[in-house]
Amino acid sequence: MNIHIRTVAGFIRKEFIQIFRDPKMIVALFFIPLMQLIMFGLALTSEVKNIEFVVVSRPSALAREVQARALASGWFTQVENIDPANVADPAQLLTGRRAEAVLVAPAEGLEAALERGDKPVQILVNAINAQRAQQVDAYVRQVLARTAAAHGYNLAGPGLIELDTRVFFNHYMDTTDFMVPALLVMSSFIVLLIVCSMSITKEKETGTMEKLIASPASTLEILLGKTLPYFLLGLAIIGAMLAVGIFGFSVAWRGSLLQLLINAVILISCALSTATLLSTVTHTQQQAMMGGVLILMPAILLSGVFFPVANIPEAFRWACYLNPMMYATANFRNVILKGGDWGLFWQYASVAAAMALVLAVAAYKNFKAKLN
């Protein structure tokens, strides 16, 4: 099939004029993805911080050091107006919501408990949020273990062991580094799917689709003219979000620009092919919006953006492997955080590219049938 470059260029020029004529469209394309990245990047974190912590013990250098190490770690905060040596019932600190974690030494003091080992040291934790409580308990145990080891005490209790931990790929355990690549995929996919599908259905709603049908342009030329502007805008959106991630959130960049470009092209192709396919089964912009929501909700939940794929029940996990967002998310994390292992990169990219091709062919055939 012959493609007339001037015809496609005319469609692209017309589409860009239509896009930039509407200020709301500019907001939808650029402002919303960037705001999502900034807000989620700041808010979505699995790190447990601001733990209100109290060491209940008779005054001693060791008890003060445990408290000081806890505050210096950045996980804990000081609870004001509490005298640790004069707390009658430590449990009331939790029930009264004055503290989230309390380390309770025996009456003889913390040193006596560690020296003799016959007096238990209690850790009281508010466990309303079970996952957070597990991390708080681990943090308190780690602080106590490090303090005791620094003074030569041998802790034989379970979990109270000095560990030599080495962290790979995310040395500071910063959740933002892990979330930014995923948010980049999610936000760009959402915007491109919704905006492109609504743009095509708008042609139907306003009656201009009949003019396109009557024109000498081929189906492929019409499709290219309608989608190429959003393809270029998609690259600009991903570039802008990546810049915010690197310069705004100090996300480490270890991968190849070529790998990033290939992955972005595949992701955008999947989003626009899905949008085109959706536009062939909807007749109004409202229907396109609702259809996009129905597609996006399971796609996001089954993509590994917020929840690891391994945590999804096996009865639903098969759907993850039919989701191009999952492969794009894994690949962006592979490229940005791990340096982009080429074997793993092509494994993800080839599957996502095959999905993009299938979606593009289905969209083309359905679009052509509707035009005819």
Domains of the chain: 5-44+174-371 (no CATH), 51-150 (3.40.190)
Residues 325, 193: Cα–Cα separation, whole Å: 12
In the chain, DSSP assigns E strands to 51-56, 76-78, 101-104, 122-125
Tell me the C-alpha distance between 332 and 274, whole Å. Answer: 20
351, two tokens: 């599957």
* pLDDT 10s digits, 174-215: 667 778 888 889 989 998 998 888 888 887 777 777 776 666
Going from the C-alpha of 168 to that of each of 138, 174, 265, 295, 339, the distances in angstroms are: 20, 12, 29, 35, 12
Residue with tokens 């399971």: 298
pLDDT at 2: 65
Q: How many C-beta atoms lie closer than 10 Å to residue 13's C-beta?
A: 12
Closest CA to 194 of 280, 288, 301: 288
* Strand, helix or coil for residue 182: helix
C-alpha to C-alpha distances, 362 to 66, 366, 369, nearest whole angstrom: 63, 6, 11
Which two three-digit tokens encode residue 170? Answer: 């995310």
Q: What DSSP character marks residue 100?
A: S
CA atoms within 13 A on the CB side of 264: 24
Question: What is the predicted pLDDT for the residue at 231?
Answer: 92
Q: Quick check: helix, strand or coil at residue 45?
A: coil
Query: Strand, helix or coil at 147?
Result: helix
Compute the radius of gyration of the chain from its Cα atoms.
28
pTM here is 0.67
- Checking phi first, is residue 307 left (phi over 0); if not, alpha (psi -120 to 50) or beta? beta
Enumerate residue ranges in the chain where pLDDT < 50. Answer: 43, 158-167
Decide: 353 and 267 in contact? Cβ < 8 Å.
no
d(CA 57, CA 54): 9
Nearest to 269 by CA among 357, 362, 365: 357
